Amino acid sequence: MNFSNSERLFAAAQKVIPGGVNSPVRAFRAVGGQPLFIDRAEGPYMWDADGNRYIDYVLSWGPLILGHAHPDVVNALKRAVERGVSYGAPTALETELAELVCELVPSAEQVRFVNSGTEATMSVLRLARAFTKRNKIIKLQGNYHGHADFLLVQAGSGVATLGLPDSPGVPAGATRDTLTAPFNDLAAIEGLFNQHGDDIAGIILEPVAGNMGCVPPLEGYLAGLRRLCTQYDALLIFDEVMTGFRVALGGAQEYYGVMPDLTALGKVIGGGLPVGAYAGRREIMQTVAPAGPMYQAGTLSGNPLAMTAGIETLKAIREPGVFEQLVAGTTELCQGLGAAAEAANIPVYQTQVGTMFCMFFTDQPVVNWDTAAKSDTQKYARFFQAMLRQGVYLAPSQFETGFFSTAHTEGVIAATLRAAEAAFQEIMDQ
Ligand code: KE4
């Protein structure tokens, strides 16, 4: 495969963009080689600047649950763009998307739109502190909630991928009120509440971790967090930026039947355009300005193009049978990947929740950051490169999650599994 155009574009990008990318995990630092520059995408496929075609399981890190350039989304955007791209004033589109979110997300009674998942988690925690009049928050090791200063503590995703000791530039004061505990360890949370209970505004977590690889909650964990938050009058906050509309139509809160007080959303609700949101009980959301005193704002929040893409996406996946088909396809893919690994006698630990999935190169169960970090990241890197040569684009890090879409048909799954068989055979002796 020829990558000369991507190499030329990467060299040019590095002159004017730090690291040549606008988000670190895209730089392929964890898997070696140089990042591919993408020229276009359609359905399950992306084509790089050299015309190489890939079956894509990153899907822009989750948003593209309908696949790339879905005709309904593209045509709706074409109509919308001719009506102007942004007004800085309220539109009926924002209400329509907010009504869809409230219809699908069980705990959502009101929604505020922002422009990214980072803004959503940053804002939802300010809201939790404003509503409870408490300062401390709990986050979990290996969970990533975007790059707000006070959340860059034992984070996942790119922080874990690049092995960064969190981040310079975050003053100690910014994280003074951020408590951390291992994922899936209820006793550790109980200990923090016993110690700080009357000053804990809330706990924020990825209900299914997706930024240390995909790691589901252990039986009873989420219900235990719900019980502790209720007991100590703290807020349970689900960061469903990734799990929302992915582990189930109503997110992890529907899948596990545990109701958070607040939810952060993103990715799928923008259909590939920049949208984040936070939502929850009306009683809490009424604290947000201008209804209440907690300030949060944004020039492009509720942008009509982003709202349009989000509306088309949610309307499509809520159609009867669509989500069940998405999950069945993901399951078929995961079963095939496991069989291919076994045929090559390569130990992997697989996880899947709804349309999110992952394959850890380890023969041990993965239940938290410490066990995820024991994975053979070098073997993952070799598998990633072998799959790329076979025309399959996986997340360029062991500590990320794979995503499925309605565009990944039976034929695409079969082609992926043929590629995986070849890739596992290629790396089995390395
Ligand atoms: P953004 O600010 O990147 O839109 O969202 C931050 C965020 C918040 N919460 C969760 C659970 C998330 O997964 C994310 C962002 N996810 C990463 C991928 N693991 C985005 C990819 C990137 O950083 O380039």
My answer on whether 308 and 257 are in the same domain is: yes
Domain boundary among 317, 332, 354: 317
My answer on whether 95 and 131 are in the same domain is: yes
pLDDT reported for residue 171: 85
Does this model's pTM top 0.95? My answer is yes
Contact between 205 and 211 under an 8 Å Cβ cutoff? The reply is no
Q: Give the pairing type, strands 38-42 and 45-48.
A: antiparallel
- Quickly count: other Cβ atoms within 10 Å of residue 365's Cβ: 10
What is the pLDDT confidence band of residue 130, given thresholds at 50, 70 and 90? very high
My answer on whether 115 and 166 are in the same domain is: yes
From 211, 238, 356, 398, the mutation candidate for ligand 1 (largest count of ligand atoms within 8 A of CB) is 211
The two three-digit tokens of residue 60, written as one number:
């822009």
| Stretch among 29-38, 115-124, 167-176, 353-362 having the lowest mean pLDDT | 167-176
Q: From the alpha carbon of 118, which atom of ligand 1 is closest?
A: 2
State yes or no: is 48 an active-site residue: no
Q: Is residue 191 included in any domain, yes or no? A: yes
Catalytic residue among 56, 57, 232, 267: 267
Which string of DSSP letters, residue by residue, matches 99-136? HHHHHHSTT-SEEEEESSHHHHHHHHHHHHHHHHT--E
pLDDT reported for residue 269: 98
- Quickly count: other Cβ atoms within 10 Å of residue 409's Cβ: 14
Could you read off the pLDDT of 22-52 as tens digits, one per residue? 999 999 999 999 999 999 999 999 999 999 9
How many Å lie between the centroid of ligand 1 and the Cα of residue 144? 7
pLDDT reported for residue 230: 98
Handedness of CA 159, 164, 165, 170 (dihedral sign): negative
Within 312-426, strands assigned E span 349-353, 356-360, 392-393, 402-403
Counted domains in the chain: 2
My answer on whether 259 and 138 are in the same domain is: yes
Residue 140, phi then psi, degrees to nearest 5: -110, 145
338 pLDDT exceeds 80? yes
Could you read off the pLDDT of 151-165 as tens digits, one per residue? 988 787 877 766 555
Query: Which residue's C-alpha comes closest to atom 21 of ligand 1?
Result: 61
139 pLDDT exceeds 80? yes
110 pLDDT exceeds 90? yes
How many Å lie between the centroid of ligand 1 and the Cα of residue 117? 6
My answer on whether 313 and 410 are in the same domain is: no
Average pLDDT of the segment spanning 289-305: 98
88 pLDDT exceeds 60? yes
pLDDT exceeding 90 applies to what percent of the chain?
A: 93
My answer on whether 202 and 293 are in the same domain is: yes
How many Å lie between the centroid of ligand 1 and the Cα of residue 146? 5
288 pLDDT exceeds 60? yes
What is the pLDDT confidence band of residue 166, given thresholds at 50, 70 and 90? confident
My answer on whether 151 and 255 are in the same domain is: yes
Residues with CB under 6 A from ligand 1: 23, 25, 61, 116-118, 121, 144-146, 157-158, 206, 210-211, 239, 241-242, 266, 276, 400
Environment class of residue 231 by beta-carbon count within 10 Å: exposed (0-12), middle (13-18) or buried (19+)? exposed
91 pLDDT exceeds 60? yes
pLDDT reported for residue 120: 98
Q: From the alpha carbon of 143, which atom of ligand 1 is closest?
A: 11
Average pLDDT of the segment spanning 381-403: 98
Give the range of the structural domain holding residue 75, as residue numbers without chain letter: 71-317
Domain boundary among 317, 333, 361: 317
- Quickly count: other Cβ atoms within 10 Å of residue 71's Cβ: 11
pLDDT reported for residue 421: 97
CATH number at residue 372: 3.90.1150.10
Nearest Cα to 340, choosing from 416, 397, 391, 430? 416
What is the pLDDT confidence band of residue 430, given thresholds at 50, 70 and 90? confident
Domain boundary among 317, 344, 376: 317
My answer on whether 107 and 255 are in the same domain is: yes
How many Å lie between the centroid of ligand 1 and the Cα of residue 172? 23
